[in-house]
Amino acid sequence: MPIIYLHRSKKIETISYEVGDSLMQILQGQNISISAPCGGNGTCGKCRVKIKNIGFVNSCLYYPDTDIELSLPNEIEEKVLTNQNQYTVRIPVKPNALAMEQAYPISLAMDIGTTSIVFYWISLITGGILRTRGISNPQAKFGADVISRIQFCSSQAGLDQMQKELVDAINKEIEIFTTTEGVAIENIVKLSVSANTTMLHLLAGIDPTPIALAPFVPNFTAEKCIPASELNIQANSNAIVHLMPSISAYVGADIVSGLASLNPPKEVKTYLFIDIGTNGEMAIVTPEKIYACTTAAGPAFEGANISCGMGAFDGAISVFTGDDYQTIADEKPIGVCGSGLLDIVAYLLNTNVILTDGELKEDFVLAAENESGTGEKVVITPQDIREIQLAKSAIITGVKIILQTANVSVEDLDAVYIAGGLGNYMNPESAVTVGLLPEAVLGKIVMLGNTSGTGAVLHALSDDFTNYTNSILEKAEHIELAHHPEFEMEFAMNMFF
């Protein structure tokens, strides 16, 4: 009889089960609460769990037949799953003509970030997400930020190599999925990609150099449709890769698709949307207009340039209270992700270990050698604090200036929506304590997780999502923060905690 090894509260429970039931049925049979407001048809995503070496699956659609290691969402993740269900637009499945030729048509939605890539496998029969899996972006070895990668593309050989890194990673995930699921490559009939403007250029094999040079006009921002075969991506021979539209060089499809995926309550008229990733992209949405901008926050909140930093992967410290910590998937700690960094700095400030200037006298130990998953200490260094100061200053400076540009006060905001990897785990109180967000928004913060991925999923379900992205593009105006006369002074002042 196969066994489920369930990671819960830093312990591992074992559950023997009979093959034939869904994972959700097995867990509910053990009195383990799994929410499924859609009735278990795979469309709400709230029953999502993480299986080691496989990724996230909707437990209602997953039928295990072998030993697996399983992690349930923690309280914060459960809240994000609830928010994603509540605040996402509803689009019915609309298979394309190619899908109608397949008995088991599948769409692949991708969110290609600078630091990580997330793959969403979608059934075009039920509209349910079959599997979600995240990997590190293999281009990271050429630089943690987009400028470094653009510089690497100064030659055609460099551009070709960057493109190949992405294509190879995509094909590897396709091979893993089709092999594991026992489906044919021909079943993959559509691919939808949400990403920042640079990543879209690199996947398409189009020179990104203009993005880094004044006047910062990319070679394309409109939606681009490319045959998968032309990109050497393994899919149905007639499948199309849809590169979703951007606003500007630094406000990419990740923001457009994220905004388009949002369905705020009727009473929310004016709101701030922030996607905190390698860059801090944000928008003020009013009934008449959208003001969008980006700040050079750097990759600190995604773990880069932090001594023990990492993305939001298994083993990352995502919650820290001083007395205890939580890691993603309840694994032994091997590093710290963005939400953990915010909690740690907030704790150091609240206990006066650091003051407003951010000076840390010595390394702060989070996990000793015998606690960690690597056999080495997990620490925060004085330089890490400086990196966080730079990143949080960029974000809050952008917030203040875009509010001023839109003639909107903090009090005028009906809601603040936080997206990106940080939007899966962030403690709002910690964000306010470190000065990442103004205190006045504390009761208005809603964490939505990866809205760029949500937008890609909606596009993968139906081409009609293009109507939603077009409505964002029609209202959007790009604001160039660097040209604002108060930017440098604001940035310097916001370096203090």
pLDDT at 23: 93
Token pair for 373: 């998953």
Q: Dump pLDDT digits (tens) for 172-194.
A: 999 999 999 999 999 999 999 99
Is the model's pLDDT at 143 over the cut of 80? yes
Q: What is the 3-state secondary structure (H, E, C) of the chain?
A: CCEEEEEECCEEEEEECCECECHHHHHHHCCCCCCCCCCCCCCCCCCEEEECCCEEEECCCCCCCCCEEEECCCHHHHHHHHHHHHCECCCCCCCCCCHHHCCCCEEEEEEECCCEEEEEEEECCCCCEEEEEEEECHHHHHCCCHHHHHHHCCCHHHHHHHHHHHHHHHHHHHHHHHHHHCCCHHHEEEEEEEECHHHHHHHHCCCCHHHHCCCCCCCCCCCEEEEHHHHCCCCCCCCEEEECCCCCCCCCHHHHHHHHHECCCCCCCCEEEEEECCCEEEEEECCCCEEEEEECCCCHHHCCCCCCECCCCCCEEEEECCCCEEEHHHCCCCEECHHHHHHHHHHHHHCCCCCCCCCCCCCEEEECCCCCCCCCCEEECHHHHHHHHHHHHHHHHHHHHHHHHCCCCHHHCCEEEEECHHHHCCCHHHHHHCCCCCHHHHHHEEEEECHHHHHHHHHHHCCCHHHHHHHHHHHEEECCHHHCCCHHHHHHHCCCC
Using 50, 70 and 90 to split pLDDT, how confident is the model at 243?
Answer: very high
When pLDDT is cut at 50, 70 and 90, the band that residue 75 belongs to is confident
pLDDT at position 391 is 92
Q: Confidence class of residue 305 from pLDDT cuts 50, 70 and 90?
A: confident
* pLDDT tops 80 at residue 386: yes
Q: Which pLDDT score is estimated for 167?
A: 98
pLDDT band at 223 (very low <50, low <70, confident <90, very high): very high
Structure confidence by residue, pLDDT tens digits, 458-477? 999 999 999 999 999 999 99
Tokens found for residue 256: 């457009």
**What pLDDT shows up at residue 169?**
98
Q: Which tokens go with 187?
A: 């079943």
pLDDT of residue 424 exceeding 80, the answer is no
pLDDT band at 19 (very low <50, low <70, confident <90, very high): very high
Please tell me the distance from the alpha carbon of residue 48 to that of residue 328, in angstroms, as a whole number.
14
AA letter at 130: L
The pLDDT value recorded for residue 201 is: 98
Token pair recorded at residue 5: 């090894």
**Confidence at residue 81, expressed as pLDDT on a 0 to 100 scale:** 78
pLDDT of residue 303: 77
pLDDT the model gives residue 97: 94
- The CA dihedral of 491, 287, 252, 93, to the nearest 10 degrees, is 150
| 93, 281 contact by CB (below 8 A) | no
For 428, phi then psi, to 5°, come to -55, -35
Output the pLDDT for position 418.
Answer: 95
Q: Give the global pTM.
A: 0.90
Please say if the pLDDT value at position 306 is more than 80. Answer: yes
* Across 32-54, average pLDDT: 80
Torsion of CA 234, 258, 287, 443, to 10 degrees: 170
What mean pLDDT value characterizes the chain?
A: 93
Q: What is the pLDDT of residue 229?
A: 98
First to last CA, the chain: 55
pLDDT at residue 274 is higher than 90: yes
pLDDT digits 0-9 by tens, 401-422: 999 999 999 999 999 999 987 7
Q: State the pLDDT confidence band at 491, using cuts at 50, 70 and 90.
A: very high
pLDDT in tens, 355-369: 999 999 999 999 999
pLDDT tens per residue across span 200-217:
999 999 999 999 999 999
User: Residue 329 region, left (φ>0) first, then alpha (ψ -120 to 50), else beta?
Assistant: left
